[in-house]
Homo-oligomer: A and B are copies of this chain.
Amino acid sequence: MTTTTTPAQVIETTASHGSLAERVKGLQSVWILGVLVVIVAVFGVLSPTTFLTAGNMTNIMQNVSIWAVLAVGMTFVIITSGIDLSVGSVLVVSSVVAAKTMEALGGQGWGTALIGLVLSVVVGLAWGILNGFLVARAKVPPLIVTLGTLSVALGIAQIITGGLDIRSAPDVLVDTIGYGRLAGIPAISLIALAVVVIGGIVLHKTRFGRYTYAIGSNEISARRVGISVDRKLVQIYALSGLLAGFAGILSLAQFGTTTIAGQSLTNLNVIAAVVIGGTSIFGGQGSMFGSMVGLFIPAVLQSGFVIIGVSPYWQTVAVGAILIAAVYVDQHRRAAASRGKGVST
């Protein structure tokens, strides 16, 4: 055949032509952010003097801080098409170990607090590694692994404490981290923000993040190109565990007690936030920013409803309904914005 060679062509190497408006619209998380803004605006109008106050906003921020830390790890895990149901229990067991040790050490100062912090993080990390190992090497489905470790971790926390919460966080922890403020912003929120920003950078800018997406997008392909998928999975679950451990010490600082019987809805709340934020539980897509918006929607709804005085039962109804509506709007706006998906994709 006498075909000619390469037809000269220019290959597009950057996604960033088009107007700024177009680029912004292209961002996945913009629509859900829009939903959040609308919700805030509605409550603002309904109750301007109480809802839209700096005090209320900082309270909301403070109250999502611990979940935000967990959501960072959860976002990584869900992008790999996994799930981590154990975060709440790992948080509890980490804080129990830390509290027990700090109690034994006595001291209310930074020295004791630091030891507690390190211990909490190490315990969380250990659980995460266990989860990762069972998922990656033993090939047990993540749902079962983390449901199992949820139970085991909680049981261990109960054994250590005899079922009674330990209420002895060093004062310095509670005063500076739990309730301290910097320029009016709660310290705990600043810490969470730092974790989120670092998590976002790692997810979106580094090789580690790229591999996270690759594993969720097509695990076989990731293996074939030589990514040691098992090791990465262990690392990702370890990260989630580590952050749960870190959240454990934050929780201790915030509440001054281990919350053994609490945290039972933490895993579902965090998973819901991540999914509301546009991360698919089938993996391969999602963003840190989306998860954060997804965290704020239920929190803002709850705060708003309490302030305007909706009764708890109606709140339950309204939060559920608005959740579905928010994700519906997000999905449809997004689809309309790109129109990039045929039936076959």
What residues of chain A have their CB less than 8 Å away from a CB belonging to chain B?
Answer: 81, 85, 134, 138-141, 143-145, 147-156, 158-159, 163, 220, 223, 268, 271-272, 275-276, 280-282, 312-321, 323-324, 327-328, 331-332, 343-344
Contacts and interface: CB of A to CB of B under 8 A. Distances in A.
Contacts of A85: 268
A323 B151 contact: yes
Contacts of A324: 134, 138, 140, 144-145, 148-149
Given A223-B343, A314-B159, A327-B141, A321 B148 contact: yes
A241 B259 CA distance: 34
A221 to B, nearest CB: 10
Contact of A144 (B276, B282, B318): B276
Contacts of A154: 316
Copies of this chain: 2
Contacts of A315: 155
B272 A155 contact: no
Q: Is the interface of A mostly helix, strand, loop or mixed?
A: helix
A316 B281 contact: no
A139 B320 contact: no
A268 to B, nearest CB: 7
B141 A314 contact: no
Contact of A321 (B152, B268, B275): B152
B149 A344 contact: no
A248 to B, nearest CB: 18
Contacts of A147: 268, 272, 320, 323
Contacts of A327: 140-141, 144
Given A223-B343, A344-B220, A155 B314 contact: yes
Nearest to A141: B275
Given A155-B313, A159-B314, A328-B138, A271 B320 contact: no
Nearest to A143: B275
B320 A149 contact: yes
B275 A313 contact: no
22 contacts: A139-B328, A139-B331, A140-B327, A141-B280, A141-B281, A141-B327, A143-B272, A143-B275, A144-B275, A148-B320, A151-B316, A151-B319, A151-B320, A155-B314, A155-B315, A155-B318, A158-B312, A158-B313, A159-B313, A159-B314, A163-B313, A223-B343
